[in-house]
Amino acid sequence: MKLVWVLLFILVLPISYASVDILDLSNSYNLGESISVNVDIMPRESGDFLVKLILKCTDKEVLYYAAPVELEESKKTEIEAPAIKAFSDGLCNIKANIESIDGSNIDGTTSKEFDVSDNLDMSFSLDKLNVLPGEEVRLDGVVNKNGVIKAGKLTIRWNGKKAQMDLTKNSFEYDIKLDENIKSGEHKITVEVEDSYGNSNEDSKSIYVTAVPDSINMILNQDKFTPDEKMILNVELLDQAGDTMNGNVNVRLYKKKTLLKDEIILFDTNIKANEDSGFSFSYNTAPDDYFLLSKAGDLSLEAKISILPNPKVNVSIEDGFAVIKNTGNVIFKDKITIKLEGGEASYLVDKKVNLDVDEGAKIDISKHILDGDYDISLVPNKDEDKILDKITGIIILSTDVLMDNPWIASLLMVLIVLSIIFYFFKKKTKVGEHQLKINSVIKPKINSHEDTQKIINHNTSNQDGVNDKLENNEQKDSINPRE
């Protein structure tokens, strides 16, 4: 009974009449690329058969080979089928069927899956990535290195330009010439390739163009200055494309050397390009024409500026003295008038000065006025309202005036003496009048004419002495008070 079941099981098993293998398939193909395979058949019986090959891609299926073949039992037969070009993208496979002459299917097999794509295998390289304006960049590339390109187009794009060439082989090369005024920074080089079957690809690589200083410009707020004014300078540093670029610029303000004078440098420093920088002059900078030189690398630019005359004095009060200093840049020769006001009195103190630059002088105000509090100011003469440093304030003269001004003490002593003389003179006059009254009753006894003359001479001598003291104590320097 068991033997019967074994025989029935063998009868229902599928019978394999041949062993079929599909060889030499790649994993991927491009559209239009030839697909070539070999089919090995090992038959288990001899006879005439029909071999068919079918290419199936996604939902498309094409019978591209059918041929009769005579097979011998247990003898391997190799069939070299003609190539077929890939016609559709996607996952594909090849079926190999063995049929009888009358069309009955005897045996077959299906290959592994492979990919058909319209994306060409392409790559390229550049000989340098950091470049300068005007340099050349070498490009080398390969297309479909495992296949053959029979007809194709290559396009190279960079900086708004393009170059095209025909592809007749897998490799390509090209020299890209950069413009002298190309913008600095990153630039892309793109390679596009396409063949006659519609396969294509593109790839890009970046190069970096270094900015090179190409020109400089100087922007000044003005070209003529007094030492009180500030110079604002902006040095534009431009690259090969005319764009501003970062960097430092050396600026130098100087007076050129002559046969008699050495070079004079007012300043020599570095500033940031394309930014405003302020420069101040010394108050005593000599008036003249100077040269402003800006340098960045091999670039330089020079401009002329002028320092104008700036006559100016400063007046300050120190311990009763008016201290006058030439704070301009030229010789100051003029009259200074100082006004002092205290209470109802007003005084004007004039002083002619001739001061070189940085030179000073003093006026002793205290010897002209008495102790007290005074408002002080400068009185401009002609155009001196633009020259004099205006000063206002209070001066308090609390020093020992008699010690500092001996002539005042002498004057006071004269006044005291005169007052004493006047007092006694007036008193003596009253006594004389009293004696006259007495003499009207009792006449004096005069012995002779000589006694009378002595009395007259004595009175005349006393009066002359008083007059001499007044004349000797007359004031020589006086300030007229203005009410």
Instruction: Give the model's pLDDT for residue 17.
Output: 61
Residue 97 DSSP class: E
What's the pLDDT band for 405 if we cut at 50, 70, 90? low
For residues 290 and 254, the answer to whether their CB atoms sit within 8 Å is yes
**39-84 pLDDT tens trace:** 888 888 888 889 999 999 988 899 999 999 888 888 888 888 899 9
CA distance 415 to 409: 10
Instruction: Give the model's pLDDT for residue 53.
Output: 92
- Above pLDDT 90, what percent of the chain? 41
For residues 118 and 198, the answer to whether their CB atoms sit within 8 Å is yes
Q: How far apart are the first and last CA of the chain?
A: 162
Domains delineated in the chain: 18-117 (2.60.40.2550), 122-209 (2.60.40.1930), 216-307 (2.60.40.1930), 313-404 (2.60.40), 411-472 (no CATH)
What's the pLDDT band for 436 if we cut at 50, 70, 90? very low
In this predicted structure, the answer to whether residue 404 has a pLDDT above a threshold of 50 is no
Residue 320: strand, helix, or coil:
coil
For residues 408 and 453, the answer to whether their CB atoms sit within 8 Å is no
Mean pLDDT of 413-435: 66
CA distance 375 to 342: 6
**99-131 pLDDT tens trace:** 888 878 888 889 999 999 888 889 999 999 999
**Greater pLDDT, 322 or 403:** 322
Strand order in the sheet with 161-167: 130-131, 200-209, 185-195, 152-158, 161-167
CA distance 293 to 304: 9
Of the candidates 183, 201, 291, 192, the one whose C-alpha atom is nearest the C-alpha of residue 238 is: 183
Q: Which backbone phi and psi does 403 adopt, to 5 degrees? A: -75, -40
Mean pLDDT of 443-455: 39
Mean pLDDT of 404-432: 66
To the nearest whole number, what is the mean pLDDT of the chain?
79
DSSP codes, 183-209: PSEEEEEEEEEEETTS-EEEEEEEEEE
The pTM score is 0.59
